[in-house]
Amino acid sequence: MDIKTYCTILLVAGCFSSALGNSIETTPELHRHMGENVKLSCAVKTTDPGDWMFIQWKKETGEGTYMNIASMQNVVLSPDWSPNVPDHFRDHVELQKEDVLDGYALILFIEGFICSDNGTYICEVFTKSNPSPMKSQSVLFIEVDPGKPSIHQNVLQVKENDTFDIECTANVGLPPLPLSWSYTLKDSSHIYQKILDGFTQENSPTRDCTIRGKSVLTVEMREELDMATFLCATSSELSTDGSKKNYDEVVVQIYGKTTTTTSTLAPSTPERQQPDDNTGGSSTIPSSVPVILFCCLVAMFELFTRTS
């Protein structure tokens, strides 16, 4: 009798399977960030301690293919690695045994969760009373925070009525988040209108689970878009906090458009020019005339005095 149990994202208490007084229980679905520790437990509980023979952990490596990881026998009760387990897995995973109520548990203790640890782990318990093993599974998901998007330009000048592309790239995290586009017009008090969500994946997840995403926005330059700001973000809630900044933006301008300004200064008044002697304007009395008249009066006064 082949008994299988499948866990879903709604599971909160754990996966279990039972048959003929024996039961198997695994850790529920787990979401962990890179570098965190993870404990995977597979416990066998039985009303007949002599019935079960051994517990085994294995990992799904493809559709219908698995890699045996470790096992523990009833008689020995000491975990042991399976052959051909990669060194990069052994180096940060510790095998442990735990006593549980009415049974034992085989533990995979992952120290420092890495991208390659992601996946589905199957626990099997083989018993004397069942020709087929009892099975239960635990699914591990690694979570990676997205990085700051980059648009590569701060200001973009485009001719009116031309169509142009704005490109945004970012580490979109795990699970991947869409790149979200929005824009605000020059005089709209920074109220952004959402345009587009999505991205094109540029690579497979790397060893550190980095996924590069790219989104290209196509825009037709119109007069009302002059000095508009286009924004690309990895979340609907914007953060300006240094390393946690999750958006980038670019201002678009109409190429060749000039802004006219009206001067508030009064026009300058030209200096008045003194007319010269040939312009027909009023003339001035030469400064030597009063002196000559004064001298004539003095001479006439002296002549008058002598004759009298």
| Residues 125 and 133: beta-carbon distance below 8 Å | yes
With pLDDT > 90 as the criterion, what percentage of the chain qualifies? 41
Pairing of strands 134-143, 30-33: parallel
Torsion of CA 130, 133, 134, 137, to 10 degrees: 180
Query: What pLDDT, on a 0 to 100 scale, did the predictor assign at position 10?
Result: 26
- Average pLDDT for 232-252: 83
Q: Alpha carbon of 236 to those of 17, 116, 168, 201, 295: distances in Å?
A: 41, 30, 16, 20, 103
Query: What pLDDT, on a 0 to 100 scale, did the predictor assign at position 1?
Result: 30
- One fold for 15-143 and 155-254: yes
Could you read off the pLDDT of 22-80 as tens digits, one per residue?
A: 788 898 789 999 889 999 999 988 878 778 788 999 999 988 899 999 999 887 889 99
- Average pLDDT for 220-247: 85
- For the sheet with 155-158, list strands across it: 155-158, 247-254, 228-233, 179-184, 193-198
| Residues 25 and 103: beta-carbon distance below 8 Å | no
Decide yes or no: CATH 2.60.40.10 for domain 155-254.
Answer: yes
More confident of the two residues 145 and 8: 145
Output the six-digit token pair for 43: 């416990």
Q: Where are the domains of the chain?
A: 15-143, 155-254
Query: What pLDDT, on a 0 to 100 scale, did the predictor assign at position 77?
Result: 85
Query: What pLDDT, on a 0 to 100 scale, did the predictor assign at position 23?
Result: 85
Query: What pLDDT, on a 0 to 100 scale, did the predictor assign at position 13?
Result: 35
Query: What pLDDT, on a 0 to 100 scale, did the predictor assign at position 8?
Result: 27
CATH-assigned architecture of domain 15-143? Sandwich (2.60)
Assess whether pLDDT exceeds 60 at residue 278.
no
SS3 state at 33 = strand
- Average pLDDT for 168-186: 91
Could you read off the pLDDT of 254-273 as tens digits, one per residue?
A: 998 764 323 222 333 233 33
Query: What pLDDT, on a 0 to 100 scale, did the predictor assign at position 64?
Result: 85
Could you read off the pLDDT of 83-120 as tens digits, one per residue?
A: 999 999 999 999 999 988 888 899 999 999 988 899 99
Residues in the chain: 308
Whether residue 175 has a cis bond before it, omega within 30° of 0: yes
Lowest mean pLDDT among 44-53, 220-229, 282-291: 282-291
Query: What pLDDT, on a 0 to 100 scale, did the predictor assign at position 271?
Result: 33
Query: What pLDDT, on a 0 to 100 scale, did the predictor assign at position 203?
Result: 74
Q: Among 59, 135, 57, which Cα is nearest to 96's?
A: 57
